[in-house]
């Protein structure tokens, strides 16, 4: 299975749709879309992207990955997010654990 990550902004979603169209033209159908860097509420970017992709009939992960400063801290430290000293790092790590569980199902 190919995982297609996308952020919920217009430019990324447009690029995603172009990628999906190429995959479909090649007969590839073993992919699923992962929405990442979802901003916190009250912003609705993530939910709106999910609704748009669902209406288009595209396969999506049930979970998504929130936008968190812990990811930037992890990148700067060169460690996985679960090794960062940040109170939100555990939440960020759980997002990826949830996606991992969906992959192995």
Spell out the domain ranges in the chain. 1-67, 69-105
Beta strands in the chain (DSSP E): 2-6, 31-35
CA atoms of 57 and 29, how far apart (whole Å): 12
Q: Residue 60: helix, strand or coil by DSSP?
A: strand
pLDDT tens string for the chain (105 positions)?
Answer: 899 999 999 999 999 999 999 999 999 999 999 999 999 889 999 999 999 999 999 999 999 999 999 999 999 999 999 999 888 899 999 999 999 999 997
- What is residue 88's predicted lDDT score, i.e. its pLDDT? 87
């Amino acid at each position: 299975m190919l995982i297609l990550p996308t952020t919920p902004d217009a430019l990324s979603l447009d690029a995603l749709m172009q990628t999906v169209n190429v995959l479909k033209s090649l007969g590839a159908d073993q992919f699923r879309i992962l929405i990442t860097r979802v901003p916190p509420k009250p912003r609705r970017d993530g939910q709106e992207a999910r609704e748009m992709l669902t209406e288009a009939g595209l396969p999506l992960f049930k979970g998504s990955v929130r936008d968190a400063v812990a990811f930037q801290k992890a990148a700067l430290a060169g460690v996985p997010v679960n090794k960062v000293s940040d109170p939100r790092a555990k939440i960020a790590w759980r997002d990826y654990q949830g996606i991992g569980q969906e992959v192995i199902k």
